[in-house]
Amino acid sequence: MSNAMPDATTSPGETPDFLFGGTADMLFDALPGAKLILDRDLIILKQNKAHEDMTMSRREHVVGRYVFNAFPSQPGSGSPNAEAAVRDSVRHVFETGETDEMPIQEHGLLVDNHIWQTRFWRITHSPIMKDGKVMAVLQTSEDVTVEMLQKSLSEARSVAAQEAAAVSYFSIDLTSGLFTRGKTVDELFGFAPDEAGLFVEPFFDRILPEDWEIVEEELERIQASPLGTIAKFDYRIQIPETEEVRFVRARGAMVVDPEDRIRKLVGVFIDMTDYEQNRVRLELALQEKDNLLIEVNHRVKNSLQLVTSVLRMEARRIADPEVERILTIANSRVEAIAEVHSGLYVGNDVSRVSTRTLVNNLVVALGRSVGSGDTAADIDCRTAEFSLPTELAIAFGLLVNELLTNALKYGGTADNRPIVLETRLEGKKASLTISNDIAPAAALETQANGTGVGTQLIQGFVRQLRAEMETSKEDDQFRVSVSFDLPG
């Protein structure tokens, strides 16, 4: 907007006296809404407090100035010809004595002398009369920026949605087969422009036979349903010339066409081919990853079993009983890890291990490792079914192995009751309990308060599981219990 208009050089006192004075100023400030008083030349004669607050200005800086000098326009923005429109509106009020409400105008505000804020205004000019003559104009400005921006956003979204729908829109008269459609529908179904004709049959013919029954059932359902019922179609089509298969999704509803009063299925098509192809590629990649993981675990298990065989052979040929015992314990620990890897590829989830299978296998493996042959028969297993991710399953398996090794080592004579191993699941809380008959006092003290490698390993596995461990002596039995929350 032009700033060529000079500010007033005359005093506001030259305007009618009734506009000024203590009472007039108080009444003007008390008026609701943001208001200015303008003369015929758009010179600001008065500004009320509400206008000061709304425009972040002060009356001593704007009164006596040309309104578009006091409130300049943002360069390259604002409503076209807004200055001329305001001038015409004020002139109309002076000439007719009638109130004039202007169309909404865009006019930015300069904040802190360097930041422009977009604003929209609803402006009304009303006459200030005395003795039947218009003496000045009261300008009332309402900030409608939020309303206009929301309206603009909604319109933009609506236009975008209409444009997107227009290219894939369809309308089918299911009685006559007349098929009205957007410009990209023929391309989606592999037809050249004007090749398919006016009816829907050529499009139905390209639906794969194994999908047609589902489409036909949905068509029958939607025709028998109330108006407005949503129809959902997901099917495949095949382009004869290329044998290409495409995935199509259609969504619509039965409505009555206002032009011919005929019930029609109206909706849009969506080409889902890229999505489905990407989904298949992802599934294949995941399957390949699972297969590789299975192969890795299988090889790790085989390598660990080779290590256990070597350790077993070394233990048998060693004459020193203490060295033999150390090798036997090491062998049991390696076998525990091998059992976890063995469990990883049993079932559908290669990232988790069934604890029931793991515990049962560990009991058998431990029997072989300690050399008793029938050790499994001396352990009463009562296992609940729950699974753990690989890392925690290894910690859990090694914990079971260490606790069982201790129970077998310190559990008294072979004539005692079987060792009882129990796992339980209550909600998200899992627990492991191992009980054995009390051994002689010295051995019992070692089992409960040991400081060797086994004890350190047990404490480490408990920490890894974020578990709590308790030991107790009750009814001539030693019991250790570990409880922890299942992850995820």
pLDDT in tens, 373-400: 444 447 888 999 898 888 888 889 889 9
pLDDT of residue 288: 80
Q: Is residue 32 within 8 Å of residue 10, measured between CB atoms?
A: no
What does the DSSP 8-state code read for residue 193? Answer: T
What mean pLDDT do residues 477-487 have? 90
pLDDT band at 345; cut points 50, 70, 90 = low
Mean pLDDT for 108-119 is: 79
Domains annotated for the chain, with CATH where assigned, are 12-143 (3.30.450.20), 167-271 (3.30.450.20), 278-485 (3.30.565.10)
Residue type, 265: L
Tell me which of 346 and 90 has the higher pLDDT.
Answer: 90
- What confidence category does residue 92 fall into, taking pLDDT thresholds of 50, 70 and 90? very high
Which pLDDT belongs to residue 477? 80
β-sheet bridge partners, residue 47: 36
437: pLDDT confidence band, cut at 50, 70 and 90? confident
Answer whether residue 316 shows pLDDT above 50: yes
Please report which confidence band the pLDDT of residue 448 belongs to, taking 50, 70 and 90 as the band edges: very low
Which two structure tokens, joined as six digits, stand for 295? 């192969």
Residue 290: exposure state from Cβ atoms within 10 A (0-12, 13-18, ≥19): middle
Per DSSP, the three-state class of 232 is strand
pLDDT, tens only, 250-291: 998 988 888 888 888 988 898 899 988 898 888 888 878 777
Q: What whole-number distance in Å separates Cα of residue 355 and Cα of residue 363?
A: 12
Give the residue with greater pLDDT, 441 vs 403.
Answer: 403
Mean pLDDT (the chain) is: 82
CA 33 to chain centre: 44
Query: What are the DSSP calls for 13-60, one per residue?
Result: GGS-GGG-SHHHHHHHHHSSSEEEEE-TT-BEEEE-HHHHHHHT--HH
pLDDT of residue 48: 92
pLDDT of residue 169: 86
* Per-residue confidence band for 160, with pLDDT thresholds at 50, 70 and 90: low
Tokens of 130: 């005395």
CB under 8 Å to 139, separation ≥6 — which residues? 35, 36, 37, 38, 123, 124, 125
Residue with tokens 């004869």: 240
pLDDT of residue 348: 60
pTM of the shown model: 0.43
pLDDT at 469: 93
> Rounded to whole angstroms, what are the CA distances from 93 to 82, 134, 177, 389?
17, 8, 62, 81
Indicate the range of 15-24, 196-205, 382-391, 478-487 predicted with least confidence: 15-24
Which one is predicted more confidently, 87 or 345? 87
